[in-house]
């Protein structure tokens, strides 16, 4: 009889709480988990930290403004992929199935992002890429496609590198030097296509391994072919070996690079001539900033003691791409009205206009367009005093 009375009391209490709206409020207090799979250790760790800072800054702003979906706070859950595709997939699985993230970010390295993309599409959990530029990451053939990106795209960067080399260095003979992985293959195809559009072809093309410490043989062949500019695609460590190998040869020609060199300790590893490499970026904190830029810099300075001035925010693209990607993701979740993966995917398509850090976005995504940035959003930079500075600008 006592147990029956207790059950009746509990049922009545629950009904009263439901009637007063207390139970939905309890559910609303559950955090929304945002995942991150990135290189948090190794030579690209600086990139992972930059993405983390961009995400966390945006998340803190959103939470301070009341969160999402009726007051739910956002929480960032990170996993280290160590720039390894297999470890990236394992980390993504853990975020999706154990942590139950609503959306996850990641993919500093194209091979890692390409490995993760099928998992995101299979699990129907949106995957926002703030760095890796491989064309096939978002253009992966899936329908529906859950992979989105706020970053550069190889196909567009390749056209940009060719145009920049011609304009800046009067290049007539392009020597292509690619890291031997899917990212290198993506850019090899894109560069050949970009040159073909101009009625040209490479003077010569070479590949090298990420573990190579001597690139002199490949460079010697490029030199023999008459290359007057090297177009380089590699991340920090391998790219540094290229610069050092050129130094040993005494061969000084312009190097126009994809942005892999910006992801870590390139000048430290590559030596003094690393500053001669010109590379693509999507954003710089140098110069006059928009109100959003001024606000983000202020917040970063307050949050991270090592940031004293805009030049200390590096790599800037990691911070900026992640910040805008998170803000756009928050809009998608709000449009979805839930944390259901398919609803969020459709929420991205429903975004109208957002005044972001990199630019003002207008309908940035559609079922046929999952890349928010175009070739019009790129800037060119180089290292000066270990800082990434737009070409022609003093730090």
Query: Domain boundaries in the chain?
Result: 32-152+288-374, 155-281
For the chain, percent helix, then strand, then coil, each to nearest 5? Answer: 50, 15, 35
Measured in degrees and rounded to the nearest 5, phi and psi for residue 88 equal: -65, -45
CA-derived radius of gyration, the chain: 23
341-359 b/e (C-beta count within 10 Å ≥ 16 → b): bebbbbbbeebeebebbbb
**Band of pLDDT at residue 395, cut at 50, 70 and 90:** low
Per the structure block, which two tokens stand in for 300?
């970063």
Cβ 117 vs Cβ 137: under 8 Å: yes
**Lowest-confidence region among 37-46, 137-146, 314-323:** 37-46
Same fold, 32-152+288-374 and 155-281: yes
Phi, psi of 115 (to 5 degrees): -75, -35
More confident residue, 173 or 12: 173
Give the global pTM: 0.83
Query: Please, are residues 54 and 320 in contact by the beta-carbon 8 Å criterion?
Result: yes
* Structure confidence at residue 310 (pLDDT): 86
Would strands 32-38 and 277-281 be described as parallel, antiparallel, or unpaired? unpaired
Q: Superfamily for 32-152+288-374?
A: Response regulator (3.40.50.2300)
Distance separating alpha carbons of residues 280 and 391, to the nearest angstrom: 10
**What pLDDT does 271 receive?**
86
Rounded Cα gap, residues 359 and 356, in angstroms = 5
Which residue did the predictor score with more confidence, 52 or 43? 52
User: Quick one: which H or E segment has residue 189?
Assistant: helix 182-197
CATH 3.40.50.1100 describes domain 155-281? no
When mean pLDDT is compared across 224-233, 260-269, 320-329, 339-348, the lowest value belongs to 260-269
Q: How far apart are CA 215 and CA 226, in angstroms?
A: 17
* Cβ within 8 Å of residue 173, ≥6 positions away: 203, 225, 226, 227, 228, 229
Mean residue pLDDT of the chain comes to 91
Cα separation of 388 and 395, whole Å?
A: 8
Residues in the chain, total:
395
């Amino acid at each position: 009889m006592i147990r029956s009375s207790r059950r009746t009391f509990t049922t009545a209490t629950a009904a009263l709480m439901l009637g007063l709206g207390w139970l939905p409020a309890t559910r609303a207090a559950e955090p929304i988990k945002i995942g991150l799979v990135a290189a948090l250790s190794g030579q690209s760790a600086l990139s992972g930290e930059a993405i983390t800072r961009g995400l966390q800054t945006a998340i803190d702003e959103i939470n301070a403004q009341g969160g999402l979906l009726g007051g739910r706070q956002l929480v960032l859950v990170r996993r280290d992929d160590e720039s390894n595709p297999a470890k990236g997939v394992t980390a993504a699985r853990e975020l999706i199935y154990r942590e139950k993230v609503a959306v996850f970010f990641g993919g500093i390295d194209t091979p890692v992002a390409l490995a993760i993309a099928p998992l995101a599409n299979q699990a129907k959990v949106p995957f926002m890429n703030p760095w890796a530029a491989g064309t096939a990451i978002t253009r992966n053939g899936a329908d529906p496609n859950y992979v989105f990106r706020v970053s550069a795209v190889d196909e567009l960067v390749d056209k940009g590198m060719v145009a920049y080399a011609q304009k800046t260095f009067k290049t007539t003979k392009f020597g292509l030097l690619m890291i031997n992985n899917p990212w290198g293959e993506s850019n090899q195809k894109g560069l050949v296509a970009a040159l073909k559009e101009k009625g040209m072809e490479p003077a010569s093309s070479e590949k090298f391994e990420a573990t190579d410490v001597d690139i002199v043989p490949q460079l010697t062949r490029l030199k023999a072919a008459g290359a007057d500019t090297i177009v380089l695609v590699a991340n920090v460590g391998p790219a540094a070996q290229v610069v050092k190998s050129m130094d040993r040869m005494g061969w000084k020609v312009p190097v126009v690079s994809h942005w892999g060199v910006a992801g870590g300790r390139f000048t430290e590893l590559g030596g003094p001539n690393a500053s001669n490499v010109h590379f693509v970026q999507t954003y710089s904190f140098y110069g006059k900033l928009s109100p959003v830029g001024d606000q983000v810099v202020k917040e970063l300075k307050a949050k991270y003691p090592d940031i004293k001035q805009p030049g200390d925010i590096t790599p800037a693209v990691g911070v900026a791409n992640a910040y805008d990607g998170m803000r756009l993701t928050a809009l998608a979740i709000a449009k979805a009205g839930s944390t259901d993966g398919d609803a969020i995917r459709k929420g991205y398509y429903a975004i109208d206009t957002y005044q972001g850090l990199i630019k003002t976005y207008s309908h940035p995504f559609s079922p046929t367009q999952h890349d928010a940035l175009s070739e019009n959003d790129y800037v060119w930079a180089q290292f000066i005093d270990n800082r990434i500075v737009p070409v022609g600008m003093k730090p």
